[in-house]
Amino acid sequence: MPQHSAHTTNKFWLPLAFAFVLILGILLGIKLQKEVPIVPTPEGEEQVETQPGKLEELLRFIEARYVDKVDRDELIQKAIDNILQELDPHSTYIPSDQLQRINEQLDGNFEGIGIEFLIVSDTIIVIKPTKDGPSDKAGIIAGDKIVSVGDSSIVGQKLNETNIIDSLRGERGTKVKIGIVRENQSAIQYFEVTRDEIPINSVDAAYMLNQNTGYIKLNRFSATTHTEFLRNLERMIDEKGLKNVVIDVRDNPGGYLQEATSILNQFFKDKNKLLVYTEGRNVHRSDYETTGKSFFSIDNIAVLVDEGSASASEILAGAVQDYDRGIIVGRRTFGKGLVQEQYNLSDDSAIRLTVARYYTPSGRSIQKSYDDLVSYDDDLNTRLESGELYSGKQLTTADTTPYYTQDGRVVYGGGGIIPDVFVPLDSAKTNPYFAHLQPFIRKFVYQFYQTNKPRPDGDNSILSYKGMTDFVDNFEIPDPVLQNFQASIDDEKLLIEAKNVKDLVPLTKLYLKARLAKHLYDENGLYAVLNAEDDVVKKAIQILEMPNPITVLEEKE
């Protein structure tokens, strides 16, 4: 995307001008603006050429007369941050060194060699190369140990995951030499890998929960989400006979608004049905409506939400709820109803500026109050302290204005989407020691899998099962394996604390099993194990198996 240029005397006041610019025509929840926006003036007046103001004057005086030497760029960045903090929590400045990584998440791809890796005992181990990606084509396989990148050895030193990623990524078409030590071989093999575009999938898992119901986990709404969603939906319909679908947007922070509306289009046969609309002070109302071109016939829908579901996730859930097209299961969503546009600055940094609010079909704004920024930024702890995550009765609504679904049910705005069916949070998952256990679980499971993985000769491995369903239904972590895992933890304090928290034992065994399933059956295996013990998923399945799931909601009224 081309960058705009700015005259030297203007580049310091331009970020300030941007903070007061709102532009017409919102096409996406986050939209990349290609040209410098024009500063609007009151309707009917001529546009006035703006000139550098007090900020530029102040900087000049400081540089010319201040007693100590100052870093002008650092002062400018602090000024930008302070200006944006006066607006809303989602108008932000993105430094140039972070912009590429953030844009990659939204674009749905990055340029690199395409591997999933794990650091074990100061060694980089390839967990899985991306199928048909650069490393896969070059001949790198799961289990390979990376000992050098280019001319630099990376064995035995303290490895930093971010630095490793930076060394492996690079411009498409460039080559990098990777030194590999393979299992049962001592000599180093060298592979020349040509970097290419690597997809960042927004669909984590897509498999059948039972004979009729499919499950799709979305981790974000990137530029490829709708395509990924349709591809997996079509596969389950054609191969498995899918009739109902569970869409899991828990912990999904959102992304592109249009990707959410494109998915919603598949659930409505009618044309010109309002899905969401956006409107701002200097942004005319934009309606997003159904096209009437749904490719598949879906009977019942459940959308799984929680306190981490935001933005485009809430647009999806809000439309499904407002039209009584499906059930919303879980806990109240985050409450982000603001639309940002992204403006690139001349130094390859950018700002994301809130330009509008979005509203569900019934007219609800689900943006929660940000008068108290401390509580807003620490949302999870605020909800934990209120008890809302454990009891739906503790939930309060900032906006008591009633809105009505298509069937006449009352719903509320002013702070997220309130689920139709509340399911409390498992308190064990908020135990801080469990979060600390995660990297130990990944390393232990990888080593256990390498020792016990099924062999082509048909050996009787502890992990030999007929398939994913057989493994999920019948495999359990043996107590000796759990004891070996506890012994493998090299953090004595963590080990002592973990032993004293009995609630962590079943959860630890579950996650050990889930990580093993990932090695055996990829991401679908991981989620199949976790979902089998997930109360939110189980509640969704229970309701979808009823003759008419929507009647459950009507009975609540």
Q: What is the structure's pLDDT at 380? A: 81
Catalytic residue among 222, 311, 313, 342: 311
Q: What is the structure's pLDDT at 34? A: 36
Residue 52 scores a pLDDT above 80: no
Q: What is the pLDDT of residues 334-355, one digit of tens each?
A: 999 999 999 988 888 899 999 9
Residue 451 scores a pLDDT above 70: yes
266 is catalytic: no
More confident residue, 518 or 427: 518
- Mean pLDDT of the residues in the chain: 84
CB 181 within 8 A of CB 142: no
**Greatest alpha-carbon span in the chain:** 82
Average the pLDDT over 190-196 and give the result. 93
Average the pLDDT over 466-481 and give the result. 94
Percent of the chain with pLDDT over 70: 86
Sequence-separated (6 or more) residues with CB below 8 Å from residue 88: 338, 354, 370
Nearest-10 Cα torsion for 45, 51, 53, 59: 160
Q: Which of 122-126, 244-248, 476-480 has the highest mean pLDDT?
A: 244-248
In terms of Cα–Cα distance, which of 73, 62, 125 is closest to 95? 73
Q: What is the structure's pLDDT at 265? A: 95
Residue 487 scores a pLDDT above 90: no
502 is catalytic: no
In terms of Cα–Cα distance, which of 292, 318, 289 is closest to 303? 318
Q: What is the structure's pLDDT at 67? A: 93
Of 1-5, 44-48, 169-173, 483-487, the poorest mean pLDDT is in 1-5
Catalytic residue among 258, 266, 321, 340: 340
Average the pLDDT over 484-512 and give the result. 78
Q: What is the pLDDT of residues 87-113, one digit of tens each?
A: 999 999 998 888 888 888 788 888 899
Sequence-separated (6 or more) residues with CB below 8 Å from residue 401: 412, 413, 414
Average the pLDDT over 253-262 and give the result. 95
Angle 481-482-487 from CA coordinates, rounded to 5°? 95
Q: Which of 99-108, 163-172, 254-263 has the highest mean pLDDT?
A: 254-263
Q: What is the structure's pLDDT at 287? A: 96
Average the pLDDT over 383-409 and give the result. 86
Q: Would you list the DSSP string of 23-83? A: -S---SSEEEE-SPPPPP-STTSPP------HHHHHHHHHHHH-SS---HHHHHHHHHHHH
What band does 44 get if pLDDT is binned at 50, 70 and 90?
very low
Residue 557 scores a pLDDT above 90: no
Q: What is the structure's pLDDT at 6? A: 32
336 is catalytic: yes
Quote the pTM value.
0.85
Residue 500 scores a pLDDT above 90: no
Catalytic residue among 31, 128, 217, 336: 336
| Domains observed in the chain | 14-42+51-107 (no CATH), 109-199 (2.30.42.10), 203-340+354-426 (3.90.226.10), 429-539 (no CATH)
Average the pLDDT over 519-526 and give the result. 96
Q: What is the structure's pLDDT at 205? A: 97
Strand pairing category for 327-330 and 301-305: parallel
What band does 191 get if pLDDT is binned at 50, 70 and 90?
very high
